[in-house]
């Protein structure tokens, strides 16, 4: 595909985290970029501030003339979350515009680069963002397309141009087999936990898709996978504590500030010494390990790896400390899968063993709630006080019998309730908060600011 033949890029679903990264890429590359989304958000507000026009009406009249009058010079990029009845989608299809799914276009714009991709059910965004932080300390030219807002960059897209070979850093998304559009040179696979069964149908089909993805990396020495979390992959294994892995960590010190560690090989020899990551939790140590190994293999020096890890400030909505006082700790996190809930609750328990946890959880997708209802119940039973919000549907229609109330019935807990999102602040006022968690991948992030306004000052 010759992108140079086109000058207009229109996005359907421009406010999505992956879509907005691509929009920023094209905008910074000199293209005329505009797009539609259903509702405004912090992302769409920022895109507008950067000079990208965003519209919220599903009407042809909202599309600028140059996109309508020049279909030959226009590309439309869309997300699978756009419903079939969307008027703009149907117009562009009927008029035979050149249309690409987000994943297809990401594959196109990174095809001629040396690509580093991070795949896995969990940890993609943190790991790829650590990779970007490390690359910032190098002399390499690169573009990073991230699945979250990096606290270092305050963006999900970053470009560093130092001349020479061009590298790209991407997340390899397993949803809808999107990662099969990529051409990775190096990759990390963080886990192959079951998810997206509405797409795959079975755990076996999901695992097979990861195997297909792993075959895209021609050199198995360039493929790193988390031992015991991504089996049947082949390549180089890594683990936080399994000394049978090809590489593992030797922890020097660990507390709520972060972790000092060395990386050792399977012989017990130190491979990289004296590293520090400021993110709490074993899962984040594992993310840092995978990122460091891939960067070293890609030619990044040890000093750049060390500084990139040390300087990494985290990702918004990934174990993000919103309030950090002696009397109240408030952490916001994107966790929306049982394994992710287990990781963050375990991390908080480990760091603050004597404190009481109040968790607000918004289930994400009816299908995921249905597939993992029992697992969700087990993990959510581990907090001291639980507030469930209605399921966030995203692209889905309701499934009969699949509700937050049904999930509540399975949770073994004396202090658990279901309320609406607009009732949360009043509910919290009646509670003696110690540690508060907001958890979920939907619009639960809209609670962060009002909670901070009420408790953070």
Give residue-wise pLDDT tens across range 303-349. 999 999 999 998 888 888 899 998 999 999 989 889 889 989 998 99
The predicted pLDDT at position 411 comes to 92
Question: Average pLDDT for residues 407-414, to the nearest whole number?
Answer: 90
What is the tens place of the pLDDT at every residue in 119-154? Answer: 998 889 999 999 999 999 999 999 999 998 998 888
The confidence band for 51, taking pLDDT boundaries of 50, 70 and 90, is very high
Is-contact 183 222, C-beta < 8 A? no
- Helix 302-311 / helix 124-136 crossing angle, nearest 10 deg: 120
Determine the number of helices (DSSP H) and then strands (DSSP E) in the chain.
16, 21
pLDDT value, residue 197: 55
Summarize the confidence of residues 263-281 as an average pLDDT.
93
- Burial tier of 399 (Cβ tally within 10 Å: 0-12, 13-18, 19+): middle
pLDDT of 1 strictly over 60:
no
Which residues, listed in sequence order, are joined to residue 448 by a DSSP beta bridge? none
400 CB burial (10 A radius; 0-12, 13-18, 19+): exposed
Burial 354-385 (b: 16+ CB within 10 A, else e): eeebbbbbbbbbbbbbbbbbebbbebbebbeb
Lowest mean per-residue pLDDT among 125-129, 133-137, 200-204, 431-435: 200-204
pLDDT at 230 over 70: no
pLDDT > 70 in the chain, percent: 96
365, 396 in Cβ contact below 8 A?
Answer: yes
Q: Which residues pair with 33 in a beta bridge?
A: 9
pLDDT at 195 over 70: no
Which of these, 439, 427, 296, 434, lies nearest to 380 by C-alpha position?
439
DSSP per-residue letters across 201-269: SSHHHHHHHHHHHHTTSS-GGGEEEETTTS-S--SEEEESS-TTSSEEEEEEEEETTEEEEEEEETTS-
Q: What is the mean pLDDT of residues 47-73?
A: 92
Asked which of 20-24, 198-202, 240-244 is least confident by mean pLDDT, the reply is: 198-202
Instruction: Kindly state the average pLDDT of the residues 21-50.
Output: 93
Instruction: With cut-offs at 50, 70 and 90, classify the pLDDT of residue 203.
Output: confident
Half-sphere exposure of 166 (CA within 13 A, CB side): 9
pLDDT of residue 316: 83
Q: What is the pLDDT of residue 173?
A: 83
Give the residue carrying structure tokens 């500084």.
307
| Rounded Cα gap, residues 246 and 219, in angstroms | 16
Average pLDDT over residues 34-49: 92
DSSP string, 304-334: HHHHHHHH---BTTBSEEEEE-SS-EEEEE-
> Would you identify the CATH topology of the domain 3-101?
Rossmann fold (3.40.50)
Q: Record the pTM.
A: 0.81
Where in the sequence of the chain do the CATH 3.40.1190.10 domains occur? 111-311
Q: Is the pLDDT of residue 199 over 70?
A: no
Note the pLDDT of residue 2. Answer: 62
Q: Where are the alpha helices (DSSP H) in 372-446?
A: 373-380, 404-410, 424-429
User: Cα(175)–Cα(187) distance, rounded to whole angstroms?
Assistant: 17
Closest CA to 190 of 123, 245, 238: 123
Mean pLDDT, rounded, for 152-171: 90
Burial class (CB in 10 A: 0-12, 13-18, 19+), 353: exposed
Q: Does domain 111-311 have CATH number 3.30.70.100?
A: no
Confidence of residue 11 (pLDDT cuts 50, 70, 90): very high
Is the pLDDT at 200 greater than 60, yes or no? no
Using the predicted structure, report yes or no on whether residue 232 has a pLDDT greater than 80: no
CATH class belonging to 320-455: alpha beta
* Per-residue model confidence (pLDDT) at position 288: 97
CATH 3.40.50.720 segments of the chain = 3-101
Chain-centroid distance of CA 333 in Å reads: 11
- Which of the pair, 261 or 163, is modelled with greater confidence? 261
């Amino acid at each position: 595909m010759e992108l140079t033949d086109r000058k207009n890029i229109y996005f359907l679903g421009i406010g999505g985290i992956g879509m907005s990264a691509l929009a920023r890429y094209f905008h910074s590359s000199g293209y005329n970029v505009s797009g539609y989304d259903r509702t405004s958000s912090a992302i769409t507000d920022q895109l507008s501030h950067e000079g990208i026009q965003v519209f919220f009406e599903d009407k042809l009249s909202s599309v600028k003339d140059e996109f309508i009058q020049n279909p030959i010079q226009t590309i439309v990029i869309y997300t699978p979350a756009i419903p079939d009845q969307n008027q703009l989608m149907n117009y562009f299809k009927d008029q035979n515009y050149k249309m690409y799914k987000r994943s297809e276009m990401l594959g196109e714009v990174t095809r001629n680069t040396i690509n580093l991709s991070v795949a896995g059910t969990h940890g993609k965004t943190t790991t790829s963002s650590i990779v970007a932080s490390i690359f910032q300390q190098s002399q390499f030219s690169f573009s990073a397309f991230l699945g979250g807002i990096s606290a270092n960059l305050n963006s999900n897209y970053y470009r560093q141009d130092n001349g020479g070979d061009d590298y790209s850093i991407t997340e390899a998304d397993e949803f809808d087999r999107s990662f099969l559009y990529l051409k990775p040179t190096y990759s990390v696979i963080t886990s192959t936990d079951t998810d997206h069964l509405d797409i795959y149908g079975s755990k076996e089909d999901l695992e097979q898709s990861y195997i297909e993805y792993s075959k895209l990396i021609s050199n198995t020495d360039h493929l790193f996978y988390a031992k015991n979390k991504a089996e049947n992959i082949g390549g180089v294994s890594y683990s936080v504590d399994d000394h049978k892995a090809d590489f593992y960590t030797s922890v020097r010190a660990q507390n709520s500030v972060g972790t000092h560690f060395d990386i050792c090989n399977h012989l017990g020899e130190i491979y990289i010494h004296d590293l520090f990551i400021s993110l709490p939790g074993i899962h984040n140590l594992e993310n840092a390990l995978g990122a460091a190994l891939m960067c070293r293999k890609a030619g990044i020096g040890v000093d750049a790896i060390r500084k990139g890890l040390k300087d990494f400030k985290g990702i918004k909505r990934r174990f993000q400390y919103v309030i950090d006082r002696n009397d109240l700790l408030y952490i916001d996190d994107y966790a929306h899968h049982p394994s992710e809930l287990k990781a963050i609750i375990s991390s908080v328990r480990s760091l603050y063993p004597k404190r009481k946890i109040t968790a607000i959880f918004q289930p994400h997708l009816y299908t995921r709630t249905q597939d993992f209802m029992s697992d969700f119940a087990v993990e959510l039973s581990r907090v001291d006080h639980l507030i469930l919000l209605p399921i966030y549907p995203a692209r889905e229609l309701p499934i009969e019998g699949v509700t937050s109330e049904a999930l509540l019935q399975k949770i073994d807990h004396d202090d658990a309730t279901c309320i609406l999102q607009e009732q949360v602040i009043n509910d919290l006022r009646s509670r003696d908060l110690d540690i508060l968690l907001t958890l979920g991948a939907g619009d639960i992030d809209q609670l962060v600011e009002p909670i901070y306004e009420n408790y953070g000052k």
